[in-house]
Amino acid sequence: MSNDKTWSGRFNEPVSELVKKYTGSIDFDKRLAKWDIQGSLAHAQMLCEAGVLSQDDLAAIRQGMAEIIAEIEAGKVAWSLDLEDVHMNIERRLTDKIGDAGKRLHTGRSRNDQVATDIRLWLRDQISYIQGLIQNLQTALVDLAEQNADVVMPGFTHLQVAQPVSFGHHMLAYVEMLGRDFERMADCRGRVNRMPLGAAALAGTTYPIQRETTAKLLGFEQICQNSLDAVSDRDFAIEFTAAASLIMVHLSRLSEELILWMSPRFGFIDIADRFCTGSSIMPQKKNPDVPELVRGKSGRIIGHLTGLIMLMKSQPLAYNKDNQEDKEPLFDTADTLIDTLRIYADMMRGVTVKPENMRSAVMQGFATATDLADYLVKKGMPFRDSHEVVAKAVRHADEAGVDLSELPLEVLQGFSDLVSEDVYTVLTPEGSLNARNHLGGTAPEQVRFQVKRWRRLLA
């Protein structure tokens, strides 16, 4: 029978072609080749330092791996389904090149701890790249906030006009969300950066390995302390996907707002043509496809998170073949998140703000009603009484079809004799903004303060 399988000596018949296709992972895990080789080189050096591998074998492995890397980069590697996965494909190619030294490379390890190491090395790099993309998007939003610190727009609760806010302040809300996302990725990276190599199949190895040496060579900050947990743990993959899901939730929320704001019913912004598409039948259409797709792709990543949790929920220790199913959702999560962050930063740099339309919308929803209530409180009226007074004034203005700021002074004084001519300074949207000049408030001065703060943090 064929000896392509390293374990074929145990069996009386070869694996069926259907089983090969069903259980093989080379189609998707070949992308781990770079990190697989990185881990193998560190493992070989450690074995040599431990006296398990000769200097000649180490030199041969290094030379062979260098040639394989060159072949992979040149697209000259013919990945074989018969060899199941990226690990066996590389090992077979190495053995073909250097002979027995290639066969000795697997001493003291298993594919169980090898793949767990590969995924962590790969994910560690992805997280670092994602962190840079998060900061790039934050920078785009900070730029937009600085340019529009004085632009007034309606702030909403229940999607009803609530109070005036600065458009810059609104953008900075998403900068804060992304700041937490960055922190979560950094926190996740710390747990990703723990080395399982040396756990072997599940119980460790009888060879005199030096796991600290391998960890140092690979840049791992910690070493997985229990061999059973090391090969079966996928918490880090779930945690990364959860952090990615939150990023996508945040961008989905912003996408929903961009889509609404671009609608003629709002007309608050425009998105550059290069991020939009038209209609095959309606020549006037300009569709916000990018934010719509981001909104849709958020569900895709959240689905991967659910899938990974379900994958792990009933697995006994230690490694099980189920875990082969962790890679495709993990890969797709990283790919989708990276693509989304890249295009989103570019798109936000192509957003045009329409201040007149925003200010007009503020004037349609009695957005300064709370300011009038606060005005009366400062004049000595209890807040509950001022709330009632202003509610009556709003009802009157609504029936008259005007904003509170458009009511004559004598009409406003009819609701309370505490009202005087200075009331109009608090009834304008700009007055409302400027009045909230405290840490975290929407006043343009505070927006500029936060812009400077974020520029320091992002520098």
Reported as a single tens digit per residue, the pLDDT across 5-41 is: 665 667 778 888 999 899 999 999 999 999 999 999 9
Furthest-apart CA pair in the chain: how many Å?
101
Q: Out of 2, 16, 158, 280, which one is annotated catalytic?
A: 158
Partners of 270 in beta bridges: 352
Partners of 158 in beta bridges: none
Mean pLDDT, the chain, whole residue set: 95
Reported as a single tens digit per residue, the pLDDT across 54-89 is: 999 999 999 999 999 999 999 999 999 999 999 999
Percent of the chain with pLDDT over 90: 94
Q: Out of 54, 128, 263, 279, which one is annotated catalytic?
A: 279
Res 1: pLDDT: 36
The 3-class SS string of 219-243 reads: CCCEECCCHHHHHHCCHHHHHHHHH
Note if 158 is an active site residue: yes
Asked whether the CA dihedral 156, 157, 161, 164 is positive or negative, the reply is negative
Percent of the chain with pLDDT over 70: 98
Q: In the predicted model, is pLDDT for residue 318 greater than 80?
A: yes
Give the whole-angstrom CA distance, residue 202 versus residue 230: 8
Give the whole-angstrom CA distance, residue 28 versus residue 16: 21
Reported as a single tens digit per residue, the pLDDT across 230-287 is: 999 999 999 999 999 999 999 999 999 999 999 999 999 999 999 999 988 998 889 9
Give the whole-angstrom CA distance, residue 328 versus residue 308: 10
Q: Which of 458, 446, 371, 459 is nearest to 145 (CA)?
A: 446
Q: In the predicted model, is pLDDT for residue 217 greater than 50?
A: yes
Residues 6+ apart with CB under 8 A from 316: none
In degrees, to the nearest 5, what angle opens at C-alpha 346 toward C-alphas 344 and 347?
60
- Read off the tokens for 273: 């043509």
Domains identified in the chain and CATH numbers: 22-107 (1.10.275.10), 117-156+166-199+225-359 (1.20.200.10), 364-458 (1.10.40.30)
Give the whole-angstrom CA distance, residue 191 versus residue 194: 6
